[in-house]
Amino acid sequence: MTTELIVFGMLSIALGGGLLYVGRHLYPRLDLSRDDLSTVRLLTAIIAGVLLLMGVGLVAVGLAT
């Protein structure tokens, strides 16, 4: 078990979840058109998804080694 990988994985999961949480509360306040808002939401979801999947992968590798 590699502690550093598990810690970095948990940090990445927390960052991805935090990004989704902040985005959910921030988006209604933005003064953007419907198309621009959907683009920003899509980009945020992609970035958060990558962070979450990377975090799960790091935790899995950390537990396996």
Query: Could you read off the pLDDT of 9-59 as tens digits, one per residue?
Result: 999 999 999 999 999 999 888 898 999 999 999 999 999 999 999 999 999
CA dihedral 33, 35, 39, 45 (to 10 degrees): 90
Distance in angstroms (rounded) separating the CA atoms of residues 33 and 25: 17
Distance in angstroms (rounded) separating the CA atoms of residues 25 and 8: 26
Residue-range definition of the domain harbouring residue 21: 3-64
Count how many domains the chain has.
1
pLDDT at residue 35, rounded to an integer: 94
Using pLDDT thresholds of 50, 70 and 90, give the confidence band for residue 4.
very high
Distance in angstroms (rounded) separating the CA atoms of residues 23 and 33: 16
pTM of the entire predicted model: 0.86
- Give CA separation, 36 vs 11, 30, 31, 60, in Å: 30, 10, 10, 36
